[in-house]
Structure 1
């Protein structure tokens, strides 16, 4: 029961979708209340459908070059609704128009971030036109007109709100980002709890890193969009500073200064583990507050200073831990202290005149090239979607009797479920079918109750609000709500929805079956075919970041310049994409996920490697002895060479140097250790851990390339 309530829990009100939900709901309430002014409900319901279509197209990029965006939106919406109205009575021309428009719109959605939501919403608007066409037989051109007016009302309201609160999306995204970073820090605190599994915890942290890095990438996209609106907007707000602070915090949060299992064992008879656990949880709270700073009333700074003082004066503890572990614990505490300072003070972005690259512009030559490339993934997805829509319409045509508007639920299911690959489609397919059937049952029950008009309006508005609010959080619940909305809105439109429940259920099931056949057998795009590319991309980003770190060690510098920031950012985004890829493989057929277990372990090893590399990055620019510097640079070159070898090769055992890499670096470190002290000891520990992780990564990649044959 607890898990059910947790699933039904609404997302936070500061989520970007909430404000889309509020705008659409208020506008729909305002429109439907027009019935008390004796306006025809059929027109008002059509306006409501137009509002929903425009809200589905809402995206931050819509507010860049607003006139151009509005022109594109209403061009697409007019083409979609107008072509359905013009060709509805000519089935074969309608089929041709449905196929070609679906193909073109899906191609546009995949090519241009600003036009993508508009293109998909135009297709949804076309199906809304099909669903309500029967109510406008006498004056059929009124329907596309009212749909466009409804969409225009939402766009104008959004433009007004955006002008009044231009940074709303950035504020919401920064809150999401720091909340995820706080979750990571809170999870990391579990290393100092009594009951945890190190390996499981590391993989959980890798997943959270992926989510946080995706949120960081989204915030960067919003900053780019904001800059495109107003070139100096980012310099006149604090969001660039927050973006920079988030990058600094990620590097410090991810860093791994100690061997947690070994340290916990040695600290078992002390209260230090509990103190560290408390401090890390306190930092998690601080991090969560960064997007909306508040007065600091905790004693975190005092707690860290007090623990540091205890460590300095506790010679018994130093003997118990040994010099290496004692130093590692001290430096970890220094890192926590620096994070406390970062969360207490305002962090200023290094370059006040910094500008991101410009938004990509739609290149019609590139668009044409994509259309004429049958082997491209986008082309295949668009053609698969168009074939599904065409086949769905032919099925509707084969049903005896006149075409019933509710049969077009089949096309709506097909359009909303189909994704570019099998894994994403399978997940969406189950949620769509179950959500639609539940939604139809609830909507039918409401209709059979013969609710008064005022309660019907409330039900329509509430279902709209919950649909957009849940849309990117709980898709199955969002489907339930949009199904209720469409059914009730169609009832207001004049369609006797309570008598079409069987039609909708059959149409939903047929649409789901059609999508499954298409994604399974028509040019299926299996994720395992992309594993090598994802791995190489991650290794490339890892090499770029690592090379800059050792370059800084070589030149005794610690610049937070743009190349370094970009390399760090790209690495975390690449890791996020790799984690998503590994998790999505679980949805593939069993014959298509032979790598899933290997990648599951590989994710943990790579995250551990990045954690130790991040720790190493924190000590760039330190004054080290010449002998230590030379050996550190030499080891760095060996590590980078091995990563290059992994990236360039097929990962066969002959190309790996696993047997010689560890002894070679161990020998170097053994030569170095007697002459080390302070930070140099910590750096040596990180190099040891990097070497160990690298060997684990090598072993996993070798096993993937040369799996052990099963025993018969």
Structure 2
């Protein structure tokens, strides 16, 4: 453990095995694909457990251990090795308790059904405490259902409570052994996901240069959706960094990763920035070369961030592309050809691109100083986090009750009608029933389609591999492909988990094909139960949530704007943690609004009341956040020469603060329009180029804010009764 706690990331022996030159391309291809790594690790663990025992004729023991390893892999979390050990201990204990309870209560179906319902609620609420507990409790519920499936073929009551936790323990120890040789892999993988998500965002944004008004609105909505992926990746990076920080006594080895994370946040802020109406600038033929050059620069930046992500995953030193420097230099030269280049409306954007280029160019250099940037952490105790979920309006408590009812009804159907392998009804409900209607509906079709395809494909393949070695090969291939597709495309992964189950029952009782029709029927029943439960119990229709989400977005944008103004007023600060928290919260609120619009697309037609308004709000709020990001991104380079900019910025801020608590926004809109006129006059009269550009940013902020408040006023007047609260967790 000391080696894990203090190993330096630059120690190559700790990071990767030494490989021959001819194997290096294969090694890089393997390590650069996290899905391939997960699939290989899980399949190898299952193979080590199952193959020898199947050969020796102990098929039941083999497949039960394999199911335990499968559950262990599905419930694994990204955590420091010390945290992984704690998680593994909790996992083995909870798996043992869950499977033992099923075995002991199986002769008493009423007690078993009630215990299943109550334990589901308890497990889900405990899982809401943290990511570590979420993985453990999900695995415990899953193992309990696996134990219900295996009780009929188990030789004795004690076999499953021993074998299922043993399989999870074996996989956990195997995973820890691999992590021992590469303890920083989890952190590198999360950072790589962040840089890859940013790469996709930059590539999408390149389509704005040039663009017309019609295409710009569509592109910006796509950017808002892609921004969800970037912000989620940043959140996961923060959590894993905190996990490592809590486990380490010496934070020096962690400092490079903290630096990569802070740089990623800066790159994201600049990428999310908007300085002007690019569709308006695209109409001027004199801007055509500059706009096309900006688009090419964004593509080059996208490729560079992708290369750095690959470098993190493969441990190959990052080489900044020379072509990016050339493109930035040509773009700068093109800007200088304009006689008034400093006041050109694209000057700030080009400056942003040049700064992003410099950040990537010097990304791998050792950073001076001994102080590490702080990261936001949830300071609440475990009990406080648990109590916070015990509100009737809390989405997790509602989800726990819905899922528990699904299990109870599914179990009653299974027992009352003597359904063959009726436990699959419960298993299907576990995966299909999601916290929201839209998520459940997506999972519903994916699960049904994947199961049907898996049944048909599996039955056909089994005919080609009728022997025991063939069935074992099919089981391992299905396990590998299931884990490979699990995080990429859920519907495809369901196909292979269905084939995996078919192979399991063929190995144990040679009944895999015979059980495929009952599995399909059970899948349909379980899916219907999940859908009906979410549809009837507290459906979170987005039209009802929209006013609250919009109000939350305005509030978070206001806090972000206030943090930007404070950064301008403070010439130097030791740590910009409050600024980073405010910025992240604004992005998370924006993401909630984007997801509400996206989820509305799959809701019943009569519930899509504000569909067009939701589309406009998604566009406007993300545009406002982009202008705020631009104002914040230049806080170090464009310090106000006088107080006029800050006075007007504070005036806009006050309007936003008042609008947040006001039911009718007419007064705020009139005030904001007068401020906008003042800013327009300042732009015309400004003599200093930097000041003029700052006024332009403020004008754009005011302009989009007016449109956003008008939409907010319309929705709030149309639906004043919407009071459903939306939980956005603290930083």
CA 1:680/1:559 → structure 2, altered by over 3 Å: closer, same or farther?
farther
1:138-178 Cα offsets, whole Å, 9 max, x none, are 42322322222111100111121222212212212222211
Cα distance change of structure 1 residues 205 and 524 upon mapping to structure 2, 3 Å threshold:
closer
Q: Does 1:588 align with 2:607?
A: no
Alignment CA distance shift 1:604-1:523 (3 Å): closer
1:638 — aligned with what? Answer: 651
- Which one of 318, 324, 328 corresponds to residue 304 of structure 1? 328
Distance, in Å, in 1 between the alignment partners of 2:168 and 2:691 is 63
Find the partner of 1:127 among 140, 145, 148. Answer: 145
Q: CA deviation at 1:96?
A: 2.3
Q: Give the deviation of 1:589 after TM superposition.
A: 2.3
1:674 match: 685
**Alpha-carbon distance in 2 for matches of 1:20, 1:233:** 28
CA distance in 2, matches of 1:694, 1:517: 40
Give the deviation of 1:693 after TM superposition: 0.4
* 8 A contact 1:217–1:573 mirrored in 2: no
Instruction: Map 1:287-436 to 2 at 5 A.
Output: 287-291=305-309, 292=311, 293-315=317-339, 326-346=343-363, 348=367, 352-356=371-375, 363-364=382-383, 367=386, 370=389, 373-400=391-418, 404=420, 406-436=421-451
1:276 maps onto 2:294 in alignment:
yes
Structure 1: which 5+ runs fail to align?
1-10
Does the residue aligned with 1:115 lie in a helix, a strand or coil? helix
Q: 1:684 aligns with which of 680, 695, 698?
A: 695
Q: Would you say 1:38 and 2:56 are equivalent positions?
A: yes
Gaps of 5+ in 2: 1-28, 312-316, 721-731
CA–CA separation in structure 2 for the residues paired with 1:624 and 1:377: 44
SS in 1 for 2:345: helix
- Which whole-Å deviations, capped at 9, do the CAs of 1:283-312 have from their partners, x for residues lacking one? 221222233253234233233333433433
Residues 1:494 and 2:509 aligned together: yes
CA 1:633 to 1:591, structure 2 compared with 1: closer, same or farther past 3 Å?
Answer: same
Shift of residue 358, structure 1, vs aligned partner: 5.5
Deviations 1:393-451 (A, max 9, x none): 11112225xx64x2211111112111122121111112112212221222222334452
Structure-2 change in CA distance of 1:383 and 1:343 (3 Å): same
The match for 2:461 is 446
Maintained 8 Å contact 1:15/1:173? no
The aligned residue for residue 104 of structure 2 is: 86
Higher relative contact order (CA 8 A, sep 6+): 1
Q: Deviations over 1:460-514 (max 9, x none)?
A: 1121112122222211111111111112112212251211222112111111121
Aligned pairs for 1:7-22 within 5 A: 14=32, 16-22=34-40
Contact 2:91 2:139 in 1 (8 A): no
Q: Which residue of 2 aligns with 1:5?
A: none
Work out whether residues 255 and 372 of structure 2, in 8 Å CA contact, stay in contact via their aligned partners in 1. no
The aligned residue for residue 181 of structure 1 is: 198
Q: 1:191 and 1:12, CA in 2 relative to 1: closer, same or farther beyond 3 A?
A: farther
| Separation of aligned partners in 2, 1:381 and 1:414 | 12
Structure 1 equivalent of residue 12 of structure 2: none
Shift of 1:241: 0.8
Partner of 2:10: none
Q: Is the 8 A contact 2:652 2:675 kept in 1?
A: no
Cα pair distance change 1:619/1:524, threshold 3 Å: closer
CA contact (8 A) 1:327 1:681 kept: no
Equivalent residue, structure 1, for 2:262: 244
Q: What is the deviation of 1:561?
A: 2.0
Q: Give the corresponding residue for 2:120.
A: 102
Q: Offset of 1:345 from its aligned partner?
A: 0.8
Q: CA deviation at 1:57?
A: 1.1
Change (3 A) 1:550 1:374: closer
Q: Secondary structure at the match of 2:643?
A: helix
- Name the CA distance, whole Å, in 2 between partners of 1:313 and 1:364: 63
State the distance in 2 between where 1:460 and 1:354 align.
Answer: 47
Map 1:107-256; keep pairs closer than 5 Å. Answer: 107-136=125-154, 138-193=155-210, 197-233=215-251, 235-256=253-274
Q: How far apart in 1 are the matches of 2:54 and 2:389?
A: 51
- 2:120–2:403 Cα contact (<8 Å) kept: yes
More displaced 10-residue stretch of structure 1: 529-538 or 420-429: 529-538
Aligned equivalent of 2:662: 649
Aligned partners of 1:623 and 1:233: how far apart in 2?
33
Distance 2:215 2:84 in 1: 52
**1:708 Cα offset (Å):** 11
Contact 2:81 2:183 in 1 (8 A): no
Are the equivalent residues in 2 in contact too, given 1:254–1:614 (CA < 8 A)?
yes
Matching of residues 592-611 of structure 1 within 5 Å: 592-611=607-626
Change (3 A) 1:145 1:681: same
Alignment of 1:431-580 (within 5 A): 431-494=446-509, 496-556=511-571, 561-580=576-595
Shift of 1:580: 2.1
Contact 2:274 2:626 in 1 (8 A): yes
- The structural deviation recorded for 1:633 is 1.7
